[in-house]
Structure 1
Amino acid sequence: MSARKWRTAALLTGAAVAAAVVTAPAAQAHQPDHGHGGADAKVIGYFTQWGIYARNFTIRNLVDSGTAARLTHLNYAFGFLDEKGSCVSADAWADYQKPFAAEQSVDGVADVEGQPLSGNLNQLRKLKKKYPKLKVYISLGGWSGSKYFSNAALTPESRKAHVTSCINQWIKGDIAGPGAAAGVFDGIDVDWEWPNSKAGEPNNISRPEDKVNYTALLKEYRTQLDRLPRGKRDLTAYLPANTREIDSGFEVAKVMRYLTFGNLQGYDYHGGWDPTTNQQSALRTAKGDPTPAPGYSSQVVIDAWVKRGAPKDKLTLGVPFFGRGWTGVANVNNGLYQKATGPAPGTWEAGGEDYKVLKTKVGAYKVYRDEKAGHAWLFDGTTFWTYDDPTEIRRKARYIEKQGLAGAMIWSLDADTSDGELIKALYDELSC
């Protein structure tokens, strides 16, 4: 089962980066407050650092779409680690160098040459000023940035040095110069994919002792974060769906003691890497699913973590704002559980597509649903897409409340429509 991937095809470089300009859509009239309705439910969205390039998706878009007003937490993806395990910027231009024009800026004020902080981090600072209840975390690692986590976690000395580096760089704000980004981040989100596993990027360093070292790393984070002022102590983690990765890499009960909350992978249960079509984010395993029991579903994932010692009220369920697809699919059973010739063509990667694009296929494709299992798919007779639309997002929100979970996590915000169709459905249902 694949984890979400850094879509490098979306990147621009050199002069193209400097020339990239976003025309922000018109501001939405309705801007809800975080305190409306079910205020305790967390709504966490990942903002992709590289989205400002080919995707033309900026922090300003979160304001204009109404998305920012519906978030309780924003995870900025990603910060990387160097070979020694120290925290570094994965893209200095995107993080703190790129000047944003007035129409791209959260407050309508253009960046000027020589200011201490530009780039996404300056826009995040402005976003927090506009939405003071919003918490912003730096997410470390991800699919393409987890190579050196094992080095960072290896010894007491390496763990201490790593955590000190990350706090200094991101929480204290030294990433763009001494204190230049101070106040931008309220916590750290650890996205190590995955400890003691060969299922991540092929070049990732992996050791059998990663499992106990992961716990020790979180303990070091908790120790150092607890020395900081209140409001800067949050520690979260992105956690896998596959029980193989859970058991090989996580001492669940111990891990959860150190986390403010954990974000469960609620997607990529199936995808174009499989020879047969299936769902990527169903709530329950369908009776006809050919996957060996218990199959892959959100209920299976939640049960696995709870059984191993995770409290439900410290878990959020990941919801995808993207779909997974296959092509060369037989026109049998509405395309479900059928052999395919390969992944469907996608804008940024084969077998993957944003919701905002998949929405435009409705009409040419027919929408199908499994009401009991809780998932939807599109099929046109040869190409199959498993995805979440507003109906399924609302179903997931009701499920999250019924299960007593902490809330929902979104990968990723740039895949929604320009008016925030999916996050509105999620927020409104959680806020009832």
Structure 2
Amino acid sequence: MKFLLLLSLIAYSLCLAEGVTLVCYFSSWATYRPDDGKFTVEDNDPSLCTHLVYAFAGLGSNNEIRVLDPYNDLCEDYGKCGFDRFTKLKEKNPNLKTTLGVGGWNEGSTKYSQMAASASARKTFIDSTLTLLKAHNFDGLDMDWEYPTQRGGNPEDYVNYITLMSELYQALHGEGMILTAAVSAGKATIDPAYNIPELSKSIDLLHLMTYDLHGSWETFAHHHSILYAHPEDTGDNLYLNQDFAVSYWLEKGAPPEKLVMGVPLYGRSFRLQNEEDTGIYAPATQPGGAGPYTREPGFMGYNEICDFQRTEDWTVVHDPAMNEPYAYYIPNNNFWVGYEDPDSVAIKAQYALDKGIAGCMVWSVETDDFHGKCHGAKFPLLTTLMEVLSGGIYTRPPTEPPPPTTTRDPSITTPAPGEHCTKLGPNADENDCTHYYLCDQDTQGWVEVEYTCPPDTLFNPEALICDWKDSVCALGGHCLNDCPQ
């Protein structure tokens, strides 16, 4: 009830915020999650966001934008029409902007670096992007290159990234579309990657990824989206908090009206080494176990966290030095997770208002409690963010029944297992986790396309994504063949 009281106080103390922005990322692959974790296009609530981003498209070897999951994204060959269903959400909220994200962590940096270095390659990318966006009624593009000059990029990306974004901005604005970008919150990446004053001239919104500041790649437990530095933080860890990242981008020249602060709807988890040491900086050298829906070690959606807390005797800690909770459950292999709850996201939305920035961004909608199991209402974190950003008096408009989903031609029956394909969507290679196969089917049987995971990642056969190598190796199984011995 604490967060309801907080919202009531805010409602009396604020006027309606002008130009509120709440950007929501939708992970399209969540449609492949099992049971109550399955999240489709129509599970999005278009009244809760000002911008919805469909994640992700990629970059092809020909420098054209590439549809990564044709069966899920397109209508051709009896596909599920994900793009068209997504942009159709604007019928429920005419003010909603629906954009297509390109890139993401799994896409890496090398090919974007190579494309941005060539005038002809940039033109190919931009022309193909405009064609795809217009074909599916998107309102613009979200560039999620992670990151210029990093992860296989080149120092020249510092200049070439600005050239690419300037040309994209002019081309998109010429068609009445917008350009946004997901950008790093880490000082060690910001400094070499971004000419912030120049980037700010060619962007509509900057989506600051103020999360994953800590995680199971470290040797201690820490909150991955802490608002302010913890009293025990020293050295470079003093930079790993949301307030530093927001303040640093503003100090370097980002216009406050274009900056949105990321808020995660998931937690980062660890396995404690000592059940007696459970606080921040407690020794922890392994990721926490995978959740039943997201199926990724070291990561757990809020829907998974709050559901476990309803049925198990977790210890929830509200450290007076922090605005965010963490929790641990010793019987589950000394499990520890730092996460956001309705109270903490309300504080962060208020921080965005007080800081004078455009608003907030979430990654990602399908890890909120979208079934409403834990608080008696759907999307408790997302709803709290919108209510606070709107001055505490936001009222959700009535919703209409979702449109019927597209089904496959009943005359096309599921073929027998092929050499690499047993089901639609991503399929693991049982002998090699450095790549995977995206499988579709037509009247002739299975159609497979092979994809290689970026450096330092392996295909996670449970989460069905390219994941950090240490997270995949922790699963054991056939992937151990690709793990350091």
What is the alpha-carbon distance in structure 2 between the residues aligned to residue 88 and residue 311 of structure 1?
31
- 1:360 Cα deviation from its structure 2 partner: 2.2
Partner residue, 1:53: 32
What is the alpha-carbon distance in structure 2 between the residues aligned to residue 38 and residue 333 of structure 1?
43
Q: Residues 416 and 288 (structure 1 numbering): CA distance in 2 closer, same or farther, change over 3 Å? A: same
Which range moves more in the overlay, 392-401 or 50-59?
50-59
What is the alpha-carbon distance in structure 2 between the residues aligned to residue 340 and residue 290 of structure 1?
18
Q: Is the 8 A contact 1:282 1:297 kept in 2?
A: yes
After TM superposition, the structure 1 = structure 2 runs for residues 77-156 of structure 1, keeping only pairs within 5 Å, are 77-97=55-75, 118-147=80-109, 148-156=111-119
- 1:332 Cα deviation from its structure 2 partner: 4.5
Q: Residues 371 and 405 (structure 1 numbering): CA distance in 2 closer, same or farther, change over 3 Å? A: farther
In structure 2, give the amino acid aligned to 1:188.
L
Give the aligned CA root-mean-square deviation in angstroms: 1.9
After superposition, the C-alpha distances for 1:154-203 in whole angstroms (9 at most, x for unaligned) are: 12222222111111122x21xxxxxxx2x2x10110000011112xxxxx
Aligned residue among 12, 15, 20 for 1:41: 20
After TM superposition, the structure 1 = structure 2 runs for residues 13-412 of structure 1, keeping only pairs within 5 Å, are 37-54=16-33, 55-62=37-44, 67-97=45-75, 118-147=80-109, 148-170=111-133, 172-173=134-135, 181=136, 183=137, 185-198=138-151, 205-228=152-175, 230=176, 232=177, 234-290=178-234, 292=236, 294-332=238-276, 334-347=278-291, 348-362=295-309, 364-381=313-330, 382-412=334-364
- 1:39 Cα deviation from its structure 2 partner: 4.9
* DSSP 3-state at the match of 1:68: coil
Q: Is the 8 A contact 2:57 2:67 kept in 1?
A: yes
What is the TM-score normalised by the length of structure 1? 0.79
What is the percent sequence identity of the aligned residues?
28
What is the alpha-carbon distance in structure 1 between the residues aligned to residue 316 and residue 26 of structure 2?
28
Q: Is the 8 A contact 2:58 2:68 kept in 1?
A: yes
Q: Is the 8 A contact 2:207 2:259 kept in 1?
A: yes
Work out which of the two has the higher radius of gyration on C-alpha atoms and give 1 or 2. 2
What is the alpha-carbon distance in structure 2 between the residues aligned to residue 130 and residue 376 of structure 1?
35
What is the alpha-carbon distance in structure 2 between the residues aligned to residue 60 and residue 163 of structure 1?
29
- 1:122 Cα deviation from its structure 2 partner: 2.3
Count of aligned pairs:
358
Could you tell me which runs of 5 or more consecutive residues in structure 1 were left unpaired when the two chains were aligned.
Answer: 1-35, 100-112, 174-180, 199-204
What is the alpha-carbon distance in structure 2 between the residues aligned to residue 278 and residue 334 of structure 1?
10
Q: Is the 8 A contact 1:343 1:350 kept in 2?
A: yes
- 1:84 Cα deviation from its structure 2 partner: 3.1
After superposition, the C-alpha distances for 1:317-351 in whole angstroms (9 at most, x for unaligned) are: 00000000111342456432111141001122110
In structure 2, give the amino acid aligned to 1:58.
T
What is the alpha-carbon distance in structure 1 between the residues aligned to residue 285 and residue 155 of structure 2?
36
What is the alpha-carbon distance in structure 2 between the residues aligned to residue 352 and residue 293 of structure 1?
21
Q: Residues 161 and 98 (structure 1 numbering): CA distance in 2 closer, same or farther, change over 3 Å? A: closer
After superposition, the C-alpha distances for 1:231-267 in whole angstroms (9 at most, x for unaligned) are: x2x1110010111111111111100110001010111
In structure 1, give the amino acid aligned to 2:201.
R
* DSSP 3-state at the match of 2:253: coil
- 1:53 Cα deviation from its structure 2 partner: 1.3
- 1:288 Cα deviation from its structure 2 partner: 1.6
Q: Residues 407 and 278 (structure 1 numbering): CA distance in 2 closer, same or farther, change over 3 Å? A: same
In structure 2, give the amino acid aligned to 1:94.
N
- 1:291 Cα deviation from its structure 2 partner: 5.4
Could you tell me which runs of 5 or more consecutive residues in structure 2 were left unpaired when the two chains were aligned.
Answer: 1-14, 372-377, 392-485
- 1:293 Cα deviation from its structure 2 partner: 5.2
Q: Is the 8 A contact 2:218 2:285 kept in 1?
A: no
- Superposed structure 1 runs of 4+ greater than 3 Å apart: 290-293, 331-334, 370-373
* DSSP 3-state at the match of 1:52: helix
What is the alpha-carbon distance in structure 1 between the residues aligned to residue 122 and residue 50 of structure 2?
29
What is the alpha-carbon distance in structure 1 between the residues aligned to residue 73 and residue 172 of structure 2?
23
What is the alpha-carbon distance in structure 1 between the residues aligned to residue 213 and residue 164 of structure 2?
28
